């Protein structure tokens, strides 16, 4: 529960530019499936450690998980 609270606060700080309803949708998706997003973060880190630009690495990895993320967003 405390870990979930911290995750929500971290996400809120990172999503500050988005409207509240979009922030809540993203936060709920991450809270529903934290393992998926942990896996995504690990893959992004591996690509950036390999020399890839962070933005490009994020886009490449997110495209790999596009279908799974869309399913979570529509649920």
Residue 59 or 75, more confident:
59
Is a pLDDT exceeding 70 seen at residue 32?
A: yes
What is the full DSSP assignment across 11-69?
Answer: HHHHTTTS-HHHHHHHHHHHHH-HHHHHHHHHHHHHHHHTT--HHHHHHHHHHHTHHHH
Residue 46 or 73, more confident:
46
pLDDT of amino acid 1: 64
pLDDT of amino acid 30: 85
> Domain spans of the chain?
1-31, 33-75
pLDDT of amino acid 7: 75
């Amino acid at each position: 529960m405390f870990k979930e609270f911290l995750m929500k606060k971290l996400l809120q700080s990172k999503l500050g530019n988005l409207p509240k309803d979009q922030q809540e949708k993203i936060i709920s998706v991450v809270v529903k499936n934290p393992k998926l997003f942990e896996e995504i973060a690990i893959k992004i880190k591996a690509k950036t450690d390999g020399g890839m630009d962070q933005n490009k690495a994020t886009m490449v990895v997110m495209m790999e998980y596009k279908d799974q993320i869309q399913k979570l967003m529509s649920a």
